[in-house]
Structure 1
Amino acid sequence: MTRPRSELVSVADTPYYHCICRCVRRAFLCGDDRVTGQNFDHRKAWMVERLTELVKVFAIDICAYAVMSNHYHLVVRINEEKAAQWTDEEVIRRWRKLYQGPPMIQRYLAGAVLDKAELKVVNDIVQQWRLRLADLSWFMRCLNEPIARWANDEDGCKGRFWEGRFKSQALLDEAALLTCMSYVDLNPVRAGIVETPEASDFTSIQARMIAWAKRQRKNKKQNKSFVRTSKLPKQTLPTVPLLRFSGNEKQGKPTSISFSLKEYLQLVDWLGRAIRDDKRGAIPSNMPPILERLNINADELLTYVSKKEKRFIDVMGTENNFQKIAKQWQRKFIKGIRLAKQLFSRQAVYIPFTNHF
């Protein structure tokens, strides 16, 4: 049964979510259309450009993204604290980048003298906008609607471009976040579109690797271990502002991801090599240490990120956090507990997201 979004997305439980949205009938409407033979890769660029704009407006950060031919993935962080700190004028400025707003707001901005009743209306509107600017559903709406409209105009047709509503998955802890980000970043490798993560166009991993390589060149320290800088493409699209890595799991801040970028890039490269070499039955000995620290089962992680199709679950996290969320939601069972036991084999030692605030 379809559950209300208010139950699936609760910042009180976790600010991190994995979102998926597919084109209608899973058609290749953003890549090579098998029916018409046309190529629509430029629509992937639309997605990246629109994401870049929206991140500068909403109090929502992007941890990872991958735009594929018939669907896209996002891993986001909802930053309600950031939205709460904005002044009313800042809220209006941001919202008006998306919508013009009612005449009352126009008068307010023009410096017109408003009575108490009118000021109350303005305040109510601003508070509503403040909530929307930290709302995942509004973010996805502002992302999907323009893309669908532009694509339909280009095709000279009407109707749905996206399949129903987007799917969201709550990521309850650092282990779940790391697992999901690597799964998203390795989408093109898993699909056999490219051989290496850095060759994956329209993905966050390519953007992070390009930025990493630029810093290495600037510091005159070419990294020879895992980022193949000579094979990195030139950055031609706008760079989507991505949530940064803090470098320490126990000192994570609300404005950063609680592990280091270098370790994450090493993990993605390690997983990518294993997927290409089909090493699911023989895990290489040089396992990234971050897996051991977060108590992630390397064999199960490789199996998970290698699967092209899987049943979507609403929640991902360690077994302990599954039990906590089930109690909070007053439910005896939440789908995904078996995966949690497999992926996160021991009790993870970390600070839960809810303690970061």
Structure 2
Amino acid sequence: MTIARTQLVSPDITSYYHCVSRCVRRSFLCGDDPFTGISYEHRRHWVEQRILALAKIYCIDICAYAVMSNHYHLVVHVNRAKALQLSEREVIARWGQEHQFPPLIQSYLTGQLSASEYPACMKLIAIWRERLYSLSWLMKELNYHIALRANQEDQCRGHFWEGRFKSQALLDEKALLAAMAYTDLNPVRANIAETPETSEYTSFKRRFDALENNQETPSGLLPFIGNRSQQQTSGVPFRLIDYIEWVDWIGRQMREGKPGYIDHKHPRIISRLSLNQMDSLGLYSRLEKERGLWIGPKQRLQHVKSLLNRQRLHGITI
């Protein structure tokens, strides 16, 4: 039975989510279509640039992404606190980057709003504020834009995406780490890239290229901030160097087909999260095989089941 999106995505439960949207056609979203011989590789750039552009408008931070041949992955942080701190004019400015203003808002901006119009104006701004941290609205505007451009290029009509996007709620840091690594290693897993840093149109390559240019966090991506005890509290709760080492280790296990092999350089993030390599590799593998809607420890899954008043929960226990 279909589960309401309001239950699948709730900032009260967790602010981190792994999302996937898949193309419905046989023809590819990106890459080379072996059936027609046509290359759609340029569409990867469309998707990546659209993700980064919307990240500057919405209060939804991008932790990781990967644009594949017929689907893409996103790991996001829903930053409701940031949206609630915006002033009315900041909300209008963000929403106006992608949408036209109705006369009511035009009057507000020019100082010509009457007293009787003020409540309706504030109600509209409140709606926009909620949309700025709505994962459904972000995915809708991302997918609509790409579908429109692709349909125009293909000179056809109809659905471009498979129904609504799929999402998994990431209930703790272990689940977040696994989902980010799974996303960043998708091209390696699909044998279209040899290493994460050569995987085109991924957040890992974008972060790696930024480091080579002495830039720690590239535009549009959520920064790594290490321990939450640091002064900066908004960011991925790992150290970037630890994450790079961890993705490299996981990737080598996958490519060489030796899940039992442990490198002599253990990622420091493992000990900080009280994980061992085999447990982490097992969780990563389960993300490939199982499609749980919630991912987290047993206690957190029980808490979610209680909050949603559900008898069963399609989750992955870690």
User: Is TM > 0.5 for Structure 1 vs Structure 2?
Assistant: yes
Q: Which residue of 2 aligns with 1:351?
A: none
Deviation at 1:117, TM superposition (A): 1.9
Over 3 Å counting, the alpha-carbon distance change for 1:249 and 1:271 in structure 2 is farther
- Letter of the 2:10 counterpart: S
Alignment of 1:48 with 2:48, yes or no, is yes
- Aligned mates of 2:29, 2:79 — CA distance in 1: 32
Q: Say if 2:273 is the partner of 1:294.
A: yes
Change in CA separation of 1:252 and 1:317 when aligned onto 2, cut-off 3 Å: farther
- The answer (yes or no) to whether the contact 1:64–1:74 under 8 Å persists in 2 is yes
Q: Provide closer, same or farther for how the CA distance between residues 309 and 183 of structure 1 changes in structure 2, counting only shifts above 3 A.
A: closer
| Preserved contact between residue 25 and residue 160 of structure 2 (Cα < 8 Å) | no
2 CA distance for matches of 1:212 and 1:32?
Answer: 30
Partner of 2:235: 256
Deviations 1:30-61 (A, max 9, x none): 11112211111111101111112111111110
> Counterparts in 2 of 1:1-357, with a 5 A limit?
1-25=1-25, 27-112=27-112, 114-215=113-214, 240-249=219-228, 251=230, 254-305=233-284, 309-337=288-316, 340=317, 344=318
Percent of residue pairs identical: 48
Further displaced range: 121-130 or 323-332 = 323-332
Partner Cα distance (1:330, 1:26) in 2: 39
Aligned residue for 2:75, secondary structure, equals strand
Judge which range, 276-285 or 245-254, deviates more.
245-254
**1:174 counterpart letter in structure 2:** E
Alignment CA distance shift 1:71-1:189 (3 Å): same
Please give the alpha-carbon distance, in whole angstroms, between the structure 2 residues aligned to 1:308 and 1:41. Answer: 27
**In structure 2, what residue type is equivalent to 1:43?**
R
> Tell me, what secondary structure is at the counterpart of 2:117?
helix
Matched residues, number: 317
Q: State whether residues 191 and 308 of structure 1, in contact with CA within 8 Å, keep that contact through their aligned partners in structure 2.
A: no
Q: CA, structure 1 residues 285+327, in 2 after alignment: closer, same or farther (shift >3 Å)? A: farther
| Root mean square deviation of aligned Cα | 2.0
- Structure 2: which 5+ residue stretches go unaligned? none
* Deviation readout 1:181-221 (Å, 9 max, x if unpaired): 011000001111111000000000001111122228x9xxx
Where 2:149 maps in the other structure, the secondary structure is helix
User: Which segment drifts farther, 126-135 or 101-110?
Assistant: 101-110
| TM-superposed deviation, 1:310 | 2.4
Distance of 1:304 and 1:130 partners within structure 2: 36
Whichever residue aligns with residue 180 of structure 2, its letter is M
Deviation, 1:295, is 2.8
In the alignment, structure 1 segments of 5+ residues that lack a partner are: 219-238, 345-357
Query: How far does residue 249 in structure 1 lie from its aligned partner after superposition?
Result: 5.0
Question: Does the CA-based 8 Å contact 2:52-2:221 persist in structure 1?
Answer: no
Q: How many angstroms apart in 2 are the aligned matches of 1:86 and 1:210?
A: 32
| Residue pair 1:291, 1:298 contacting (<8 A) in 2 also | yes
> Which secondary structure state, in structure 1, belongs to the residue aligned with residue 289 of structure 2?
coil
Aligned-pair CA distance for 1:75? 0.4
Look up the equivalent residue of 1:190 and give its one-letter code: R
User: In structure 2, what residue type is equivalent to 1:132?
Assistant: R
**SS of 1:316's equivalent?**
strand
CA contact (8 A) 1:190 1:306 kept: no
Query: Within 2, Cα distance between the matches of 1:26 and 1:257?
Result: 36
In 1, the alpha carbon distance for the partners of 2:171 and 2:233 equals 14
CA-CA distance at 1:253 after TM superposition = 5.3
Question: SS at 2:133's partner residue?
Answer: coil
Write the distance in 2 (CA, Å) between the matches of 1:308 and 1:138. Answer: 25
Deviates more, 1:41-50 or 1:287-296: 287-296
5-14 or 323-332: bigger deviation: 323-332
Greater Cα shift, 264-273 or 148-157? 264-273
Residues 170 and 309 of structure 1: CA distance in aligned 2, closer, same or farther (over 3 Å): closer
CA shift digits 1:109-149 (9 cap, x unpaired): 2332x222211111111111011011100011111101000
| Aligned partners of 1:275 and 1:306 also within 8 Å | no
